[in-house]
Amino acid sequence: MTERRSGHVGSAWAANVAGWLPRVMKWPALAFRRAYVRVTMYAQFLASLRHTGGTFVRARHVGADRLIDGAKVAVFAHFDAAGVVHDFVIYYLRALRGAGYTIVFVSNAPDFGAASLQRVLPLSALVLLRANVGYDFGAYKDGIEALGELSRFEHLVLANDSVYGPLFDLSEILARCDAGADIWGMTDNWAGGYHLQSYFLLFRGRALVGPELKAFFRSVRPVQSKQWLILRYEIGLTQAMQRAGLRCAALFPYQAVAAAFAETVRVGDLTRRTSLSARHRRYFAQITGRLDRGKPLNATHWFWRELVCKIGYPFIKRELLIYNPVGVPYVSAWRDVIRSVSNYDTELAAGHMRTYRPRSGRIGNAIDGWPQQAGDGDLGKALP
């Protein structure tokens, strides 16, 4: 009896070791990666210090519209390695203009040709072509500087081309950006500290009258590090504005979309549903477990379907469809999902996506003709 018990304990111990040993072996690699990212981030900051004066704007073109007092204005940040203004961008600009916003178009593209310029001039008041430094926040900074005194405007939107859409009427959605907040975002995020995600921000009222917004963007440096941009500028902007007493809110808050996802899982019994593969059941169990533990997730990736279908969110992230970096399993059903709730021409997104190639060995699963995991499309259609 004693020997059998000893053997059982030994087997259990061996099983535990086999379970946690692979995770422990990953820790040094993870620690090295984090150290590398931090060292690179500060190295890029030090490199930015050599840019102490002058401007990164290399050309300025006056468009068909005019910036007038009392207007609603949008600074739109664009980048394309080939300098192309794709059809999905034109659609987005027209939607902003249709919602009453006068556009300052700022491109970081290294080669922005005459054909691209002629596409955006009729939709803009001003087109700025600048050096490709500082990412979107560098473009936002130069666009804000070109506006002059911000208090002369009713609303200021900062937006970029990292999303496809809008999938729904932008005028109706932005009409909800009332005096309940001074700064509105489409979505918020709790990772690294509460913040509004910077691909779409709307400033109004006290945010445009006070000095805090201008002061923040004067402090923005042309750091070529996305990690720096996220930590210091995306997260830093919301936190700086909150410290100044400005109210920040999201039109599609994390709590609402997380609750919608949890409801989807509950109604469909997706962690135990035998018609789903074991891989898909594990996925839903893992995500609901993370929510139960309070682990913050990026809703625009993990909960994209609930955002679009359940609470009327008007965008879908480009990176999600092209690269799917966190491996959401049912992204390949994106066309059917969008068509079920919106009249948006999905070819605007698909046409742009076909211009991309795999990076770092990762291939997205949403582009026509690219591999996808078995059952993903059926799962996307079957979800409640």
The fold adopted by the segment(s) 57-250 is: Spore Coat Polysaccharide Biosynthesis Protein SpsA; Chain A (3.90.550)
pLDDT at 22 over 90: no
Cα separation, 286 vs 303, in Å, equals 13
Across the strands, what pairs with 250?
Answer: 185
Confidence class of residue 55 from pLDDT cuts 50, 70 and 90?
A: confident
pLDDT at 268 over 70: yes
Mean residue pLDDT across the chain: 86
Specify which of 10-19, 232-241, 270-279 reaches the highest per-range mean pLDDT: 232-241
Per-residue confidence (pLDDT) for residue 378, from 0 to 100: 45
Between the alpha carbon of residue 269 and those of residues 195, 206, 307, the distances in Å are 32, 46, 20
285-301 per-residue burial string, b: 16 or more CB within 10 A, e: under 16: eebbeebeeeebbbbbb
Written as one string, the DSSP assignment of 213-248 is HHHHHHT------HHHIIIIIIHHHHHHHHHTT--E
Is residue 281 classed exposed, middle or buried when 0-12, 13-18 and 19+ CB atoms within 10 A define those classes? Answer: middle
HSE at residue 267, side-chain half, CA atoms within 13 A, is 9
pLDDT at 34 over 70: no
Residue 8 in 3-state DSSP? Answer: helix
pLDDT at 48 over 60: no
Counts of helices then strands in the chain (DSSP H, E): 17, 12
Q: What are the structural domain ranges in the chain?
A: 57-250, 254-382
pLDDT at 21 over 80: no
Q: What is the pTM of this model?
A: 0.85
Between the alpha carbon of residue 190 and those of residues 46, 210, 212, 372, the distances in Å are 28, 26, 22, 30
In tens, the pLDDT along 320-364 reads 999 998 888 889 899 999 999 999 999 999 999 998 866 555 545
What radius of gyration, in Å, describes the C-alpha atoms of the chain?
23
Residue type at position 174: L
In tens, the pLDDT along 168-226 reads 999 999 999 999 999 999 999 999 999 999 999 999 999 999 999 999 999 998 887 78
End-to-end CA distance of the chain: 52
In tens, the pLDDT along 361-375 reads 554 555 443 334 444
